[in-house]
Structure 1
Amino acid sequence: MFDYETLKLIWWLLVGVLLIGFAIADGYDLGSAGLLTILGKNDTERRIVINAVAPHWDGNQVWLITGAGAIFAAWPTVYATAFNGFYWALLLVLFCLMLRPLSFEYRAKVEDHQKKWCDLGLVLSGLIPALIFGVAFGNLFQGYGFNLDNTMRLSYTGSFFDLLNPFALLCGVVSISMIMMQGAAWLNLRTSGVVEQRAAHVARILAAVVFVTFALGGAWVTQLPGYEIVGAIDANAAANPLNKTVEFGAIGAWMNNFQTYPLMILAPALAFIGSVGVMLLSKKSAALTFVSSSLCQAGVIATAGLSLFPFILPSSSNPNVSLTVWDGSSSELTLGIMTIVAGIFVPIVFAYTIWCFYKMWGKVDSAHIETNTHSLY
């Protein structure tokens, strides 16, 4: 089969694919929820927004669950470290993800004057996770305050409020704007009438915000001190985060991969091209607008991953214990079994997902909502 080094690379790529899949699929759910009160000015319009994502939102959330499960199995040390350091942030995300189905389900059952609370729940369930995911990625470039002693015991020196630094908050704005753009592009594709028109307009505005903030973030990264592994590292050796030397402090070190492998510039180029595509195509083709928005999501996430490689979770407390693709992975046997399982079941999941979209495709309009008052959210 594959050697240990290749398996580590495969699972780095697969985790990246899962994150991109989450941003594209569950991203339009979060984005649609976050834009609910902007795109829907009355109850009928808000029901149009909700029912445009209702057939798919719970299935799309599997991308997040699968991503978390993959990190747990493929990168157990990363999982343990991240969930310890991000405990309160992840608890807030979990609360929002629980708030979303409650708001969806109860909105159709409560009195009209109580629906505003369900609407608020949906908006918060879209905005807060998008912000936290962006802030988390922003902090990766600055390192987290954790340490490992010589017995691999973990200690965390940071706090929740340490995560809310200026660069991380800028990344949070990038995340919110691109997730909301994805939601607007989806509603432009799946609705009609005034909601469709508003969605196209909002998508253009958000695409411009993504373009500007992503460019600012990239310029900022070039001025950040980065991490570099010093000396050779045995990628086929058993994972041991303590068995390496890491230098921290070189300005622009996060750009080294792009200098070594110039083709990586395609990732940020894809993000910029996707955002420009949304701005130019939202009035002409809803389908191409959604494709452009999806490409932008992929480009932004790929840019972050390629910049950080091989680091997964850098440490600001002790750079030498930073977790990388080479020393934060599971055993060769575990990764081998996971690869076989993924090779069998991932195509099945993709086929099932495509079938669901095929069977439940179509635009949602006010006439459909008004004639199905009891069968829709």
Structure 2
Amino acid sequence: MILYELISYDVLRVIWWVLLGVLLIGFALTDGFDMGVGALLPFVAKTDVERRVVINTVGPVWEGNQVWFILGGGAIFAAWPPLYAVSFSGFYLAMFAVLACFILRPVGFKYRSKRESARWRSGWDWALFVGGAGPALLFGVAVGNAMLGVPFHLNDLLMPMYDGTFYGKFLGLLRPFAILSGVVSFAMLIMHGAAWLALKTEGEINARARRMGSVAGIVAIVAYALAGVWLAFGVDGFTLTSDVVANGPSNPLYSEVARGGSWLSAYAERPWIAIAPALGFLGMGLAVLGLRSRREVSTLLFSKLGILGVISSVGLTMFPFILPSTVDPASSLTVWDASSSHRTLFIMLVCALIFMPLILAYTAWVYKVLWGKVTEDDVTGSSHSY
């Protein structure tokens, strides 16, 4: 109880905003290379044995990597209930598409080698491609829409009401800036998957992955720069125009929000946040150089650094907004007025402090045990490989 009283409500809100970012970044760093590998599968591997090698680079770890996605979804549900409600109302069809892709992946991994038929295996290879490429693109589109704002409002009972049409829940998300954000995400995770394959494979697979990954990295850098320019001159930002009550009740309607200006004004108010996009450009640039110069461990680490910078730049640019509203800016969700109660956030923090170290320790142990390259002899000589 003493610790509960020491950690104030506003501090807990910021802690859970940071933790949500950590979970999403952790998902991108781990399951991101799984998705990148799946998207690269039909192109970096030409023969059946080569494709089995590619699949087995992620086969032992992909299920564990998805824990970060589950934790992120759980954190949104428990720590930011209005965000969960609006997201599942407005992004319903897009989330269904992501779920379908996630279902394809385990089925593809398990069923691909059940028959010797070339057509059978090719079909599952393309299913794995969709299972990796689809979420890599759609997650970026979702981030782009969060920065543009979503058409929803809160009624008098604080129930989130989505104002878009049923078909708009998917097609309405495909706005030009959101598509560009999807390109950034897709290309970045392709680069990340290529960095993983450069570490885990050899020979022709390794060479093809390096070539494709370096091209994807350049596309990601250019698209990220274009997104920054677009944000500066073509996207209206959101601003809190009332006094911030950091310890106040979770009622977005208490705040006054204006739409206009630029999201990038945050860099004038908090210059230190420029480190995030700088790390994004630096990490992706060094990853491209590492792919071209045949480095392995450092290339993967630089790729992770780039992803960390890119995702962090979104959260830091939008702070304190989590999900703005285009039809009623006053309904926009922020860190200060869209969280669960003080007690709920505290109990969740205690659980996170107990279980997060266990997850990190287990993950580190698994990667240590599975360290090393996957070869053709490994997959043809083992009955346990995919």
Q: Indicate the TM-score class for this superposition, using the shorter chain for normalisation.
A: over 0.9
**What residue in structure 2 maps to residue 280 of structure 1?**
289
1:238 alignment partner, one of 249, 271, 283: 249
CA drift of 1:178 comes to 0.6
> What is the letter of the counterpart of residue 275 of structure 1?
M
1:129 alignment partner, one of 112, 122, 135: 135
The answer to whether the 8 A contact 2:37-2:132 is kept is: yes
> What is the letter of the counterpart of residue 121 of structure 1?
A
- TM-score normalized by structure 2? 0.95
> What is the letter of the counterpart of residue 10 of structure 2?
E
1: CA distance, partners of 2:30 / 2:305:
12
2: CA distance, partners of 1:215 / 1:365:
38
CA drift of 1:342 comes to 0.6
2: CA distance, partners of 1:213 / 1:333:
42
CA drift of 1:319 comes to 0.4
Matched, 1:336 2:341: no
2: CA distance, partners of 1:139 / 1:81:
13
- Offset from partner CA, 1:143-184 (integer Å, 9 cap, x none): 101111111122211222111011000000001001111111
Cα RMSD over matched residues?
Answer: 0.9
1:67 alignment partner, one of 62, 72, 76: 72
**What residue in structure 2 maps to residue 18 of structure 1?**
23
**What residue in structure 2 maps to residue 248 of structure 1?**
259
1: CA distance, partners of 2:81 / 2:160:
13
2: CA distance, partners of 1:12 / 1:91:
25
Aligned positions, number? 374
1: CA distance, partners of 2:257 / 2:196:
43
Q: Find the residue that maps to 2:252 and give its secondary structure.
A: coil
The answer to whether the 8 A contact 1:34-1:126 is kept is: yes
> What is the letter of the counterpart of residue 338 of structure 2?
G
- TM-score normalized by structure 1? 0.98
CA drift of 1:93 comes to 0.4
1: CA distance, partners of 2:258 / 2:345:
29
**What residue in structure 2 maps to residue 269 of structure 1?**
278
Matched, 1:9 2:14: yes
**What residue in structure 2 maps to residue 201 of structure 1?**
211
The answer to whether the 8 A contact 1:239-1:330 is kept is: yes
Unpaired stretches in structure 1, ≥5 consecutive residues: none
Matched, 1:177 2:213: no
**What residue in structure 2 maps to residue 303 of structure 1?**
313
1:50 alignment partner, one of 55, 65, 68: 55
> What is the letter of the counterpart of residue 174 of structure 2?
L
Matched, 1:142 2:151: no
The answer to whether the 8 A contact 1:146-1:157 is kept is: yes
- 1:150-161 aligned at under 5 Å gives the runs 150-158=156-164, 159=168, 160-161=170-171
**What residue in structure 2 maps to residue 120 of structure 1?**
126
**What residue in structure 2 maps to residue 221 of structure 1?**
231
**What residue in structure 1 maps to residue 199 of structure 2?**
189
> What is the letter of the counterpart of residue 38 of structure 2?
A
Matched, 1:361 2:361: no
The answer to whether the 8 A contact 1:48-1:366 is kept is: yes
CA drift of 1:110 comes to 2.1
> What is the letter of the counterpart of residue 123 of structure 1?
F
The answer to whether the 8 A contact 1:150-1:242 is kept is: no
2: CA distance, partners of 1:67 / 1:370:
37
> What is the letter of the counterpart of residue 275 of structure 2?
L
CA drift of 1:206 comes to 1.0
**What residue in structure 1 maps to residue 102 of structure 2?**
97
The answer to whether the 8 A contact 1:147-1:315 is kept is: yes
User: What percentage of residue pairs aligned between the two structures are identical?
Assistant: 45
